[in-house]
Amino acid sequence: MQIGHPETTGPDLSGAVLGIESSCDETAVAVLAGDGRILAETVLSQIGEHAPFGGVVPEVAARAHLAHLAPLTEAALAKAGLGGGEIAAIAATSGPGLIGGLIVGANFGKGLALAWDKPFLPINHLEAHALTARLPGLAEGGLAFPYLLLLVSGGHCQFVAVEALGRYRVLGRTLDDAVGEAFDKAAKLLGLPWPGGPALECLATEGDPARFALPRPLLGRPGCDFSFSGLKTALAQSIAGFPSGALPRAAAADLAASFQRAVADVLADRTDHALAAFAARHPGATTLVLAGGVAANQAIRAALALVAARHGFHLIAPPLRLCTDNAVMVAWAGIERLKCGAVSGLDHAPRPRWPLDAPDMALAPAPVAA
Ligand code: KG4
Ligand code: ZN
C-alpha cells in the first residue's frame, strides 16, 4: 500500500524498519521505509488453529509463531527487495500479551538484530495501536499529538490520551471483560462460531435492536470506565427464557441486535465522558481515533462518529487490517521511537503486562530548554 506519498519520490530505504507481531493469535511481519511507506506486510491468522477450542490456546499460539516467523520474515524481505543488512532496526512487540508468543517474537527479533548488528526496539503493543493513525497518509495532513484513542479489541478496552510519543494517560478502562471478549462470549451464547464479533454483527443485521431490554452498565455514571459482564449475564438469562436448544433464528437475531445496540450505547456514553475530559485538558484537539478489532463494527462506528461530531471532533479509524493486530503498526512505532533516540533494547524482557502509562525508560531524556 502506498498511502499519501507522491510517487515521484522514492521511499527512504536508509531508515527501513522490520516489525514483528506475535502477542496473540496473529503472526505478522512488515517492512516499512523510514518515511512510513509500507514496503511489505504479511499476516498469518491462527483462527483455524484455535477455532476448535473456541478461543486462543496460548501454547498452540506460541508454537505457531515459532513455525511461521522465519518464512514470513523471508517473504517480507523478498517483497520489500531488501537484505537484512539494509534494515536500520528491528522492532518486535514485547508486551503486553501471551508470554509464549512474546518470547518467540522478541527473541526472534533480537536474533536478527544481533546477526545484522542493528538496534532492537521492544515495542509496547498498545503503543503500536495508539500510533497507527499517525502513519503518513492515513489522516489528511498527518495526525499531530494530542488525540484521544479508544482501543477496543479482544483483550483491551480503554481510552488513552495520546499526548506525545511515550506520554500516554489512560482515562478509563474496562472493569471486567474487554468489549471484543464480550462480543465473543455473547456470540458463543447465541451458538455462533469464534471469533464471535463479525458473526454477531452479521446476525444482528436481521434483528430488532429494541425487542430485548438489555442493561447498559455504567451508563450515565461519572468517569469513563466500562463494564460488560452484566450485559453478558443478562443476555444469558434472556436466552435461558427459551426452551433449551430451541432458540428461533428470529429471536437469536433480535438478541444479537439488542446486545450490539446496548454495547454501542455504552461505548457512546463513555466516549461522551472521555471526550469532555480530554477536551478540557487539550482545548485545541479535534481527533478521536478508534483502533482494535471491534472498530470493524459498523453500528459502533456510527454511534461513535455521532458523539465525536457533537463534541466538534472527527473520528479516524484506520483501515481494518491496520486496526486489528498487524506488524505495520509495530514497525511504525519502531520508526517513531528511532527518530526520538530510542536505543537498542536487547536486554528488555518480554512482559505479559505492560501498561501504556508505565514509565518509559527507552526514550532519550528531553533536551533541557536553554
Ligand atoms: O484487535 P483484534 O484483532 O485482536 C485482539 O483482540 O487483540 O480484535 C479481535 C476482537 C475479537 O474479540 C472479535 O470478536 C472482535 O475483535 N471483532 C468484532 C468485529 N470484528 C472483530 N467485534 C464486533 N463487531 C465486529 N464486526
Ligand atoms: Zn491488539
Q: Which residue has the higher pLDDT, 4 or 283?
A: 283
Ligand 1 within 6 A of 345 CB? no
Overall CATH class of domain 143-317: alpha beta
Q: In this structure, what C-alpha cell is assigned to residue 34?
A: 523510514
User: In the prediction, which pLDDT does 5 show?
Assistant: 52
- What is the rounded distance in angstroms from the CA atom of residue 134 to the CA atom of residue 125? 15
Ligand 1 within 6 A of 97 CB? no
Tell me how crowded residue 221 is: count the other CB atoms within 10 A of its CB. Answer: 12
DSSP code at position 365: P
Report whether pLDDT(31) > 60: yes
User: In the prediction, which pLDDT does 11 show?
Assistant: 82
Burial class of 113 by CB neighbour count within 10 A (0 to 12, 13 to 18, 19+): buried
Q: How much is the pTM? A: 0.92
> Do 184 and 198 meet the contact criterion of CB atoms below 8 Å apart?
no
Which residue shows C-alpha cell 470506565? 225
Tell me how crowded residue 49 is: count the other CB atoms within 10 A of its CB. Answer: 15
> Do 23 and 102 meet the contact criterion of CB atoms below 8 Å apart?
yes
DSSP code at position 280: H
Identify the band that residue 9 occupies on the pLDDT scale cut at 50, 70 and 90.
confident
User: In the prediction, which pLDDT does 206 show?
Assistant: 97
Report phi then psi at 275, rounded to 5.
-65, -40
Tens digits of per-residue pLDDT, 166-224?
A: 999 999 999 999 999 999 999 999 999 988 999 999 999 999 999 999 999 999 999 99
Ligand 1 within 6 A of 178 CB? no
Report the atom number in ligand 1 closest to the C-alpha of 296: 26
* Ligand 1 centroid – CA 50 distance (Å): 15
User: Domain limits of the chain?
Assistant: 17-133+324-345, 143-317
The percent of residues above 90 in pLDDT, for the chain, comes to: 84
- What is the rounded distance in angstroms from the CA atom of residue 230 to the CA atom of residue 235? 9
Q: Which residue has the higher pLDDT, 78 or 344?
A: 78
Sign of CA dihedral 353, 359, 361, 367: positive
Ligand 1 within 6 A of 198 CB? yes
Right CATH for 17-133+324-345 from 1.10.230.10, 3.30.420.40, 3.40.50.300, 3.40.50.720: 3.30.420.40
> Do 90 and 112 meet the contact criterion of CB atoms below 8 Å apart?
yes
Best residue for ligand 1 mutational test, from 22, 149, 153, 329 (most atoms within 8 Å of Cβ): 153
